Amino acid sequence: MTALVNIHDLKKSFTQPEGGKLLVLDISEFQIAKGEQVAMIGQSGGGKTTLLHLIAGLLSPDQGSIQIDGIETNGLSEEGRDRFRAETIGYVFQTFNLLPAFTAIENVRLGMAFGSGKHQHARAGDLLARVGLQDRFNYRPGQLSVGQQQRVAIARSLAGRPKLLLADEPTANVDPSSADSVLELIRDTCHEEEVSLLTVTHDMQIASRFDRIEKLDEINQVDHTTASS
């Protein structure tokens, strides 16, 4: 199977307030195949979110290589990475991060607002309908339940037709009864859209449903007991 994401000798450290640098990630090899759904598990502060930010191009590595769909993202300018992210990567946040000024449909449209492709307003509606919110188009985030907000966030992450969806503990803030449906929604939609999925979680039960489970502690050569993200 062809790799969509190919990480090689990746290192990332942060400057500490008291001076000096703290190495957080040191990953020699990590791949995600096209269409594959991977669960990354690890303890809090283990560098999971940092890894997602590096893959999304929101952070630059100290060294190493991150190739996505054959593109070396580390070699792109910041503007190039932004454009690449808009067109290639979807992101679902733990806290949903919907913009409160915008309605549900507008939040979804934001997901396709910054790419170079045509704005497909109909797709925003289709996605909201697919996540069961066809009657909530014009609701603002504050008027939606937590579960509905996460559904909007999922729809938004897929709006730009990404090749890779990064989900950062997508069920952490959802009540247990909704967690399953949210997770299944993400997985099913990614499957339908042929989108590769990397979900980070610390919940083994959730991770068990994925094609592959990666333990960050095992691939990260940094002693996670001293690392922080």
Partner 1 sequence: MSLIHIAWRNFCHRALSSFLTTFSLALGVGLVVLVLSIYGVISEAFTRNASVGYNLVVGPKGSPLQLTLNSVFYLSQPIENLPYTEYMEFLPQDERASMVSRFGGDPKLAERDGRYAPYIAGGFAIPLALGDYFGEFRVVGTTPDFFTKLKHGPNVDEDFTFSQGRAFSNFSRESSYFEAVLGARVAKEMNVVLGEKFYPTHGDPSGQGHEQGFTIVGILDPTGTPNDRAAFVNLEGFYLMEGHAKPIERDPEENGEDLLDEAVNAEESNEEQSDTDAQNDSPTADAIATGSKSNGVPLVQNEAENSGSVADSTPDTIESQSSVEEHRVLSIPEREVTSILIRNGNIMFAPGMQNAINEGIRAQAAAPIGEINKLMNLVVGPLLTALLAITGITCAVAAVGILVSIYNSMNDRRRDIAIMRALGARRTTVTSIIIFESFQVALIGTIAGWLLAHTAIVLYSGKIEDQTGVQVGFFTTSNYEILVLPLVLGLALIAALLPAWAAYRTDVGSNLSA
Q: Applying CB under 8 A, does 49 fall inside the site for partner 1? A: yes
The minimum distance between CB 54 and partner 1, in angstroms, equals 10
By CB under 8 A, tell whether 165 contacts partner 1.
Answer: no
Q: Is 85 in the site for partner 1 (CB under 8 A)?
A: yes
Q: Which stretch binds partner 1 (CB under 8 A): 62-70, 76-84, 144-152, 197-205?
A: 76-84
Structure tokens at 223: 């002693």
| Residue tagged 């979900």 (tokens) | 199
CA distance 88 to 35: 13
Report the C-alpha gap between 48 and 227 in whole angstroms: 11
- Choosing from 110, 129, 172, 213, the residue that interacts with partner 1 (CB under 8 A) is 110
The letter for the amino acid at 167 is: A
First-last CA distance in the chain: 31
- 195 near 162, Cβ under 8 Å? yes
Residue with tokens 């289709």: 126
For the bound state, the minimum distance from the C-beta of residue 97 to partner 1, rounded and expressed in Å, comes to 5
- Asked if 62 is part of the footprint of partner 1 (rule: CB under 8 A), the reply reads no
Stretch that binds partner 1, among 38-46, 87-95, 173-181, 205-213 (CB under 8 A): 87-95
Distance CA 61, CA 116 (A): 26
Residue 220: Cβ within 10 Å count = 24
Q: How far is the CB of 100 from partner 1 (least distance, A)?
A: 7
3-15: strand order across its sheet = 21-33, 3-15, 63-68, 71-72
Question: Does 218 engage in binding with partner 1 (CB under 8 A)?
Answer: no
CB hemisphere CA count around 180 (13 angstroms): 3
In the list 59, 71, 129, 172, the residue contacting partner 1 (rule: CB under 8 A) is 59
Q: Is 37 in the site for partner 1 (CB under 8 A)?
A: no
Residues in the chain: 229
The residue among 126 and 180 lying less far from partner 1, judged by its C-beta, is 126
For partner 1, the closer CB: 125 or 211 = 125
Interface positions with partner 1 (CB under 8 A): 49, 53, 56, 58-59, 78-79, 82-83, 85-87, 89, 91, 93, 97, 99-102, 106, 109-115, 119, 156, 160
